[in-house]
Amino acid sequence: MNSQEALFNYTLRLGDTSLILAQRLSEWTGHGPFLEEDLALTNVALDIFGRANAMLEYAGKLEGKGRDEDQLAFHRHDREFLNALITEQPNGDYARTLIRQAFIDAFDFLFYTELAKSSDATLAGIAQKTIKEVTYHKRHSFSWVRRFGNGTEESMQRLKKGFEEMWPYTGELFEMNEVDELLVPAGIAVDLAKIKPIWDREVNALLEEAGLMAPENCYMQTGSRKGYHSEHLGHLLAEMQAVPRMYPEAKW
């Protein structure tokens, strides 16, 4: 793998992760617990879709095979996607969705703050815009985790269940492979090992405020860096890609 291929893979990983997360969040549109929150989460999804579009557009240019962001999003099968496994997991109830979002927002804020320093001007530019959005996203999801944890007995139980289901997917966010090994020394990619301790502190503090505690020595799910996914991604893609695959030449 040369540096150009590594950069394409890296950008595709970021684009896929944003795309699948945004698609999951958009499933709440029209189904939020109340109108203001319905609009808030829909706007979060739109922000993340925008990031996915920018990343996949850049990935298409790096690949140099004539595929644009739409072709990358709608005309690949699940084994070709590199999104983090946590993003493809079903939403469940609102507590499950928001604890997942809190984990990802905490990661994204740290990650894109570092990526904004990238020697790759395009990635740095996307990251600088993303930081502003994730600042709001993080404040929103963290406040809901505290609200669930310090609300009623039922809200606490729902949060706890969501936490237990989502926690095993958090370790993969910090996995690094040969792509990172090529790009980190060049100042392009983020050294995930450096942001992991900060994420641990922030998330553990949030969990403590919500009356939860991270388990020790928990088994962490893995595989997305190699294109291995849960069955949920295939179902999500079947719905997301149905119309573009049915009318591949259509112009919207």
> What proportion of the chain, given as a percentage, has pLDDT over 90?
93
pLDDT, tens digit, for every residue of 32-83? 888 999 999 999 999 999 999 999 999 999 999 999 999 999 999 999 999 9
Q: How far apart are CA 79 and CA 88, in angstroms?
A: 13
CB 113, CB 198: distance < 8 Å: no
pLDDT tens digits, 183-202: 999 999 999 999 999 999 99
Three-state DSSP at 28 gives coil
Mean pLDDT of the chain: 96
**End-to-end CA, the chain:** 36
Of 46, 178, 44, 53, the residue nearest 100 (C-alpha) = 44
Residues 6+ apart with CB under 8 A from 47: 133, 137
What type of residue is 142?
F
Which residues neighbour 177 within 8 Å (Cβ) at sequence distance 6 or greater? Answer: 225
Q: What is the pLDDT of residues 128-166, one digit of tens each?
A: 999 999 999 999 999 999 999 999 999 999 999 999 999
The rounded distance, in Å, linking the Cα atoms of 145 and 28 is 17
Compute, in degrees rounded to 10, the torsion defined by CA atoms 27, 223, 186, 129. 10
State the greatest distance between any 2 C-alpha atoms of the chain, in Å, as a whole number: 54
